[in-house]
Structure 1
Amino acid sequence: MNNQLTIAIPKGRILTESIELFAKIGIHLESMLEDSRKLIFEYPEQNLRALIVRATDVPTYVEYGCADLGIVGKDTLLEQDKDLYEPLDLKFGYCRMMVAEPVNLAKSDDPGRWSHIRVATKYPHVAEKYFASKGVQAEIIKLYGSIELGPLVGLSERIVDLVSTGETLRQNGLVEVETIAEITTRLVVNRASLKTKHQRIRGIIDGLEKIIS
């Protein structure tokens, strides 16, 4: 039986921190940090290969078994709701998914009295579920970037977006109103791989758990 593992990791800060974490349990993927256009990295001596993919694509590669394991933000998992095993919070990449609105609106606004609102976001699925759970009718406008611009040009009254320090909101005259979820980076596993390569995957999960606990 082929016991080779494939790991999908997005580029950027998650890649760097993931490689540092894996190194602590003896999995060395440092060559992924080299300035390269490569998307597949082979590590035959570790019986391993790694893929660099877009963060939003990690759950898809793992769900379909093209990768056995993946590293991805909880925001992506909440939005896509894929059928994956999510054994570990890796406890880095912390931020908050927030509802935010212009400062002037917030001065007299009461979220408890919202009935119909218009919201711009990269996370339409999460936003729709959240407002529905509060009994609020929300018109969701999907954007792919610069979400803060929505209220500034009258596209929406409010936004749902990730907030780390809050500096971008402040610079654009917006304030946080409600927290939808706290977001960190997660390890996800293909459900079939967990059965067919159980011992090896379990060893990785247990090793990482000891490091981050």
Structure 2
Amino acid sequence: MSPIRFAIPKGSLEEATFKLLERSWTKVNRKDRTYRVYLDDPNIIVKMLRPQEIPTLVSEGLYDVGITGKDWVGETSADVEAILDLEYGKIRLVVAFPDKYKYKNLDEMIADYAKRKKHFVYPLNI
């Protein structure tokens, strides 16, 4: 039997993913400064990757299964099937303005745009 190739995300989802793995397997090991993760099941090969790469790599057959965000599945248009929503890794949005803007927060900007009947458009990747 061939080992299962399992891709997990590094970065913002890393800590939550390790907690999940630690609840699912009796032993999870990771050596410092490496992207290899070792479980107590020798038939599962785990590698940490950038979450935006995981859908494409699974779609191309380089990994059998992976954990990544729904946003990356949609953005990459990867041909993969979502099998479980792990319900972790909620994103936090940040609003930033250039120094030259007079606004102190998003509410001020929206109110000013509305007062001047100006459109306020922002991209959504849902």
TM-score (norm 1): 0.44
Q: Is the 8 A contact 2:6 2:45 kept in 1?
A: yes
Q: Is the 8 A contact 1:27 1:46 kept in 2?
A: no
Give the secondary structure class of the aligned counterpart of 1:24.
helix
Q: 1:67 is matched with which residue? A: 63
Give the secondary structure class of the aligned counterpart of 2:8.
strand
Q: Where is the helix percentage greater, Structure 1 or Structure 2?
A: 1
One of 1, 8, 32 as aligned partner of 1:35: 32
Identity value in percent = 25
Per-residue CA deviation, residues 59-94 of structure 1 (Å, 9 max, x unaligned), is 111111111111111221221121101011111111
TM-score (norm 2): 0.68
- Distance change in 2, residues 1:41/1:70 (3 Å): same
Letter in 2 for 1:31: N
Q: 1:14 is matched with which residue? A: 13
- Distance change in 2, residues 1:44/1:108 (3 Å): closer
The correspondence of residues 191-206 of structure 1 with structure 2, limited to 5 A, is none
Q: 1:50 is matched with which residue? A: 46
The correspondence of residues 1-213 of structure 1 with structure 2, limited to 5 A, is 1-2=1-2, 4-26=3-25, 28=27, 30-32=28-30, 34-36=31-33, 38-41=34-37, 45-95=41-91, 102-109=106-113, 159-160=122-123, 181=126
Higher relative contact order (CA 8 A, sep 6+): 1
Give the secondary structure class of the aligned counterpart of 1:76.
helix
**Aligned Cα RMSD in Å?**
3.4
Q: Is the 8 A contact 2:29 2:38 kept in 1?
A: no
Give the secondary structure class of the aligned counterpart of 2:79.
coil
In structure 2, list runs of 5 or more residues that go unmatched.
Answer: 98-105
- Distance change in 2, residues 1:105/1:20 (3 Å): closer
